[in-house]
Amino acid sequence: MSCVDKALVYAFYDGGMTAFNHLGKSDVSVACFEKCQALTHTVPLETYMETVRRRIVAKIDCYKYEEALELAKYVVDVEEQIQHIRASLPMGKQAISLGQSYSQLGQVYAYMERPEAESYFLPAIDIFTVDTDDYYRTVSYLLHYYIDAEKQRDYEVWAPKYFGGSSKVADQLTYIPNMTDDDKAVQHESYALYVYIKALYLSLI
């Protein structure tokens, strides 16, 4: 089997891992991931890291937070090693993938209700360009963490960055249905509404 054929097989099992996880067939999803692991030599390292990140999502969906944490730490370790190599080359700023790994590790810590979450969300946000989907996704994770941890002051600092610069409660609510097509391209209005309602319910706003 050629390297191209093996890469296609890898992509097949990678897609199957996600599909079977959504279908609730975690055992088949695990088998697909193990097939991917056996074919890691056929794909770039970045591709395998994306696969591992999808595996972390599956672990979170199954409430296996400790296992998700172990994998998320592994991804961060690899991404930091890659970043160390990039730093010695004329490759510009920190890689988006490093920010994504920080964001995901922060999310796992947030699900576990651990304070380490913030220490990964903030560096991730610093890496992302403002007004990108990665930026808004991670800010939403941070706001959810602040809501669950009842950190009202921190929530109030970051909420305007998520709700179109609006610091007033009424203006934040008005912002959501009036999001432009450009806004919706990087920020899902239903997610924004969920953050708003959750904060309102817990009386943070």
Helices (H), the chain: 3-22, 26-38, 45-61, 65-87, 96-111, 116-127, 133-148, 152-162, 169-175, 181-186, 189-201
What does DSSP assign to residue 66? H
**Quick check: 16 pLDDT over 60?**
yes
What pLDDT band is residue 49 in, cutting at 50, 70 and 90?
very high
Which pLDDT belongs to residue 119? 98
Q: What does pTM read for this prediction?
A: 0.90
Model pLDDT for residues 102-158, shown as the tens digit of each residue: 999 999 999 999 999 999 999 999 999 999 999 999 999 999 999 999 999 999 999
What does DSSP assign to residue 93? S
Model pLDDT for residues 144-195, shown as the tens digit of each residue: 999 999 999 999 999 999 999 988 888 899 999 999 998 888 998 999 999 9
DSSP assignment of 6-57 equals HHHHHHHHHHHHHHHHHTT-HHHHHHHHHHHHHTGGGS-HHHHHHHHHHHHH
- Do 29 and 20 meet the contact criterion of CB atoms below 8 Å apart? yes
Which pLDDT belongs to residue 150? 93
Model pLDDT for residues 57-98, shown as the tens digit of each residue: 989 988 999 999 999 999 999 999 999 888 887 766 788 999
